[in-house]
Structure 1
């Protein structure tokens, strides 16, 4: 038997198949970063039909695609696509980092006292699903033709099996109530939003349909193959790294840097800094997504015309603290814990000595680690959960230097896994729907293989703690009254 996991990220599509023993039998990927457009400040969108064409082409390259017994999809969180009654998109997808719905956020908070209070569970900003839905209804020429609003997962699941459905994890940023696992009816009622626009919510891991003849012809997946309800890309990464028990913490470093800790109860955050989302078997994920990550690293590669491995080698020769160079690695606004869509990247403290590619590269790695550490401190403060070690996955976790810098900045043991790809997490979910004799936790323990381990250096921790205060202070000062002029 083979189980197929599909991961649709912001920059790449990745597809994995695993067998009954949990061994990866094939893994392929395709670049799609050029599809995402930022036509003006605060806008981020892409053509989902173009993504679908790329996915179909990639799936036809998978070895043994005709032998697949179940399939599960993960995709970006809070990306919204409006469709008509013919199940066709009416607008480009508003991506996870799209911030155009600023006025809609104000409208929600003005009309809904419940939404104001709910910010202790899900801080409201324009990147979330509900403001985007309102924007699409009111500000597009096809607003009156909208039949349903789908999350990106939902859209590609629909393309496979013609079923319109979501999961409480996928829809968490469209105001799912963790207490019920369904949309928060009171909030939608207070703002006058008809919940008929939203997909039905089904449990994670449930078979929600079967591959249609049309989808089979386009993808190569056998007709009738069960399609399993999934989770977002970051949550699929959590599964792939074995982050399934209460107390586990996973950090996914890709185009976004996402941190999730598994908890068994929701403790509201009066300061509205982090979010909660439903997860596996009555547990929850607490944490959030930031705009830190690999974007500055890729940009520096392009600027210098150097491979990322070469830049990392240069950065390894630079001392901790980068000889005073401070970088901001969040180039598309800050999301949590301090929401400001106008924040852009910067370099401070440039000197002749530190203005080198190695210094700049390392300064971005340090900025990523500092951003992560702030979130870990908030999670511990709020939940009372002591965090002694964290697991890293995603493209950024392939950098040994990034892993060590994170260990130094956080003062915690950092571990990696051999198979931490979200596509593998989705393949595991597909497997659970067919292998009923195992729970998801049992499968994960059986399959996840640990990688390397990194221990913190106390001297470096002190240097990076001081740098953290400087970075936070300067970001607040520079962008307090700044309005972004470019995307």
Structure 2
């Protein structure tokens, strides 16, 4: 659509495979969109991208998105990025290193050192321990590999924000969580960083998401088409932006993003503490908390195990296998992160019949069972889970799978009309000086609500508990979570 005399906000999503720019009105109408592909380099535990490619893609995507938008309509811009992706830059923001991506684990040898130095802080923040792919171990690796003289830490969003403003910028607390920021104090934990030998001048200042960072400079305006002087607002991780993009920000609301893997994020008043170390909490712009976790199960198991198949046809055939004869734990990569931590976990399928439709149904149901187990674990921790549940991600395009998940979970699911991280970034761009929940509520429209079919939840109780037992028997699922899942099922 072409905007006439209507304000718009720009959200930029820095994904793994592409950059997405979305231009959105206050009522959630999309005035323009642009996408440009990204490429990376993978080699065993290493996953890198060239930061300059981000800026090239951002410039092209924004120009495409703003092609039919009057310059005077653009009110602000915000950027989200992949969580835990960092690099080192010089004082002028030029990259000194490649970007180590969110799932790069080359710095695993530094994790014990990081947890020894900062364990007290990590426990206060509720997640207990850092993991190999988190940003702080990677920062230590970069500083040792490159040397720290004159180097500056930049998260993915920081790098782009610096290009937009033309000067050094603060990092948002959301992206800084996995780099060790103390989200309670809203500061870097000095003693822990001193113990790790991280110089203070390597670290950017910190601000909450939704805080103005500067304005678009003339050089960036020429590159992107975003008018010079447009406010640049602190963004968030892509997962938090996706949560904001659902429009459901009341306490107890949750968003389940089912793409290649499964990511679950919610809203709480209080910080959630997880003694098992699988749930971690970001801080919302209004000071509330956004707890959640990322599983290694997801729709990636379908693209891997059913390549090139007609998925709509398989959906129709799977409906005749409720529950499936087979029981599947459909891991995508090896190792599980949520709702339990088990690096040695491996996917499995039991009692397969050789019937393709039954095997497909088992995968769909298995992901639903893991999603249900995530909620059982969150309930065990005392997190409120009774609010709206939105389903987003590529799997939300399957109406059958959404209905199946509603049946397995025994609760209604909300499907937003337009749900993506770039929309959440646009919400943040529009949020300074306003209630972010109200902004999101106006910008995000509901496409449909799917209620569980009467009596269908009980159909899946037996296989769900069987999977719980299998995960516990193999030593992956803690007994406390397994017992709580059984207790909730029996209510």
TM-score (structure 1 length as normaliser): 0.87
- In structure 1, what is the equivalent of residue 230 of structure 2? 225
- State the SS of the aligned residue for 1:26: strand
- 1:83-232 to 2 correspondences below 5 Å: 83-115=89-121, 117-118=123-124, 120-138=126-144, 140=145, 142-145=146-149, 147-162=151-166, 163-232=168-237
The question of whether the paired residues in 2 share the 8 Å contact of 1:108 and 1:115 is answered with no
- In structure 1, what is the equivalent of residue 444 of structure 2? 448
The question of whether the paired residues in 1 share the 8 Å contact of 2:210 and 2:428 is answered with yes
In structure 2, relative to structure 1, the CA distance for the partners of 1:267 and 1:81 (3 Å cut) is: same
The question of whether the paired residues in 1 share the 8 Å contact of 2:81 and 2:238 is answered with yes
- CA shift, 1:81, in A, is 1.7
Paired residue for 1:306, among 287, 309, 312? 309
- In structure 1, what is the equivalent of residue 76 of structure 2? 70
- CA shift, 1:476, in A, is 4.6
Q: Distance in 1 between matches of 2:212 and 2:447?
A: 32
In structure 2, relative to structure 1, the CA distance for the partners of 1:311 and 1:93 (3 Å cut) is: farther
The question of whether the paired residues in 1 share the 8 Å contact of 2:9 and 2:75 is answered with yes
- CA shift, 1:77, in A, is 0.9
* Number of residues of Structure 1 aligned to a counterpart in Structure 2: 464
Paired residue for 1:48, among 46, 51, 73? 51
Q: Distance in 1 between matches of 2:344 and 2:98?
A: 23
In structure 2, relative to structure 1, the CA distance for the partners of 1:43 and 1:75 (3 Å cut) is: same
- CA shift, 1:318, in A, is 4.6
Long gaps (5+) in structure 2: 1-6, 478-491
- Return 114-123 or 78-87, whichever deviates more: 114-123
- 1:335-354 to 2 correspondences below 5 Å: 335-341=337-343, 343=345, 345-353=347-355
- CA shift, 1:251, in A, is 1.4
- In structure 2, what is the equivalent of residue 482 of structure 1? none
Long gaps (5+) in structure 1: 479-487
Cα deviation, 1:28-69, whole Å, max 9, x if unaligned, reads: 33443xx133211x3222222223322322222123355222
Q: Distance in 1 between matches of 2:54 and 2:221?
A: 17
Q: Once superposed, which parts of structure 1, at least 4 consecutive aligned residues long, lie more than 6 Å away?
A: none
- In structure 2, what is the equivalent of residue 483 of structure 1? none
In structure 2, relative to structure 1, the CA distance for the partners of 1:448 and 1:409 (3 Å cut) is: same
- CA shift, 1:118, in A, is 4.3
The question of whether the paired residues in 1 share the 8 Å contact of 2:329 and 2:367 is answered with no
Q: Distance in 1 between matches of 2:366 and 2:196?
A: 38
After superposition, the CA RMSD in angstroms is: 2.6
In structure 2, relative to structure 1, the CA distance for the partners of 1:61 and 1:389 (3 Å cut) is: closer
TM-score (structure 2 length as normaliser): 0.86
- In structure 2, what is the equivalent of residue 417 of structure 1? 416
- Return 367-376 or 226-235, whichever deviates more: 367-376
